[in-house]
Amino acid sequence: MSEAFRVTIWHEFRHEKRNPVVSALYPQGMHAAIADGLRMFGDFDIRLVALDDPEQGLPEATLNNTDVLVWWGHLAHHEVADALAERVQQRVLDGMGLVVLHSGHMSKPFRRLMGTGCMLKWREADDNERIWIVNPGHAIARGLPERIEIEAEEMYGEHFDVPTPDELVAISWFKGGEVFRSACCWYRGAGRVFYFRPGHETYPTYYHQDVRRVIANGVRWAAPVGGAAPLRGNTQPVQS
Ligand code: ZN
């Protein structure tokens, strides 16, 4: 099977323009580093878009030609048009994959698809993060070690206000004692949603080999499976 999924990486791309720490870490933007990570682990057809692009980076033609949408946002969730968030939600229900990273937990498309508040505890204090794979048979665990060690990250702690994941792949432990469901899968309509926690903008997390592998595996897991579109509504018997 060809693996050339059309992956669109949507990035808010604002921190890099106002915080020199972030632009030094990610001179081409975090989305470029995420794309480089994907290329290490798959033959993906990648497009980078940003909030400040025309039509907020996602004109209908782009969205309709995306198999998996990767989303990183933080400062400007409220600027994303409700109509765009609704189109993303609809595309997922129709079969598009959505991979939401880090602070994207509060993005409009993710919150619409979850139907809950999606908030959590957080702390910026250079905690080390230990991500334990709790479902080693899952497709997203492919090629990963038993645990992923990140030297310093922002802490996210439970309770994470999301529906119980359909599949939980990993949980994080932080130096401060908190834990977090950090790699979560949901099915929505014909589509799939994968949330992966790490990736605060002031850390080099998207250069971490195992983090990159999780994202690549997540994109592959979320890709449309190509099943028939179900017919709904009033219907004749299959057999008379
Ligand atoms: Zn953050």
pLDDT in tens, 194-231: 999 999 999 999 999 999 999 999 999 999 999 898 88
- pTM value is 0.97
Mean of pLDDT values over 143-161:
98
* Residues 220, 140: Cα–Cα separation, whole Å: 8
Q: Band the pLDDT of 4: cuts 50, 70, 90.
A: confident
Q: Are 7 and 47 in contact (CB under 8 A)?
A: yes
Q: Where are the domains of the chain?
A: 6-114+181-222
- In the predicted structure, residue 53 carries a pLDDT above the cut 60: yes
Q: What is the pLDDT of residue 34?
A: 98
- How many angstroms separate the alpha carbon of residue 227 from the centre of ligand 1? 36
- How many angstroms separate the alpha carbon of residue 196 from the centre of ligand 1? 12
Measure Cα distances from 139 to 39, 200, 213, 219 in Å: 18, 25, 11, 11
Q: Residue 213: what are its φ and ψ, rounded to 5°?
A: -65, -40
Mean of pLDDT values over 62-91:
98
- How many angstroms separate the alpha carbon of residue 235 from the centre of ligand 1? 48
Percent of the chain with pLDDT over 90: 95
Q: Band the pLDDT of 1: cuts 50, 70, 90.
A: very low
As a CATH number, domain 6-114+181-222 is 3.40.50.880
- In the predicted structure, residue 3 carries a pLDDT above the cut 90: no
- How many angstroms separate the alpha carbon of residue 28 from the centre of ligand 1? 19
- In the predicted structure, residue 123 carries a pLDDT above the cut 80: yes
- How many angstroms separate the alpha carbon of residue 100 from the centre of ligand 1? 13
Give the DSSP H/E element, type plus range, for residue 147: strand 147-157
Mean pLDDT of the chain: 97
- How many angstroms separate the alpha carbon of residue 162 from the centre of ligand 1? 18
Mean of pLDDT values over 126-132:
97
Using alpha carbons, select from 157, 144, 149 the residue that is nearest to residue 129.
149
Using alpha carbons, select from 187, 150, 149, 181 the residue that is nearest to residue 168.
181
Which pair of structure tokens corresponds to residue 179? 């834990």
Mean of pLDDT values over 168-192:
98
- How many angstroms separate the alpha carbon of residue 2 from the centre of ligand 1? 35
Percent of the chain with pLDDT over 70: 99
- How many angstroms separate the alpha carbon of residue 21 from the centre of ligand 1? 14
Would you tell me how many other CB atoms lie within 10 Å of the CB of residue 43? 10
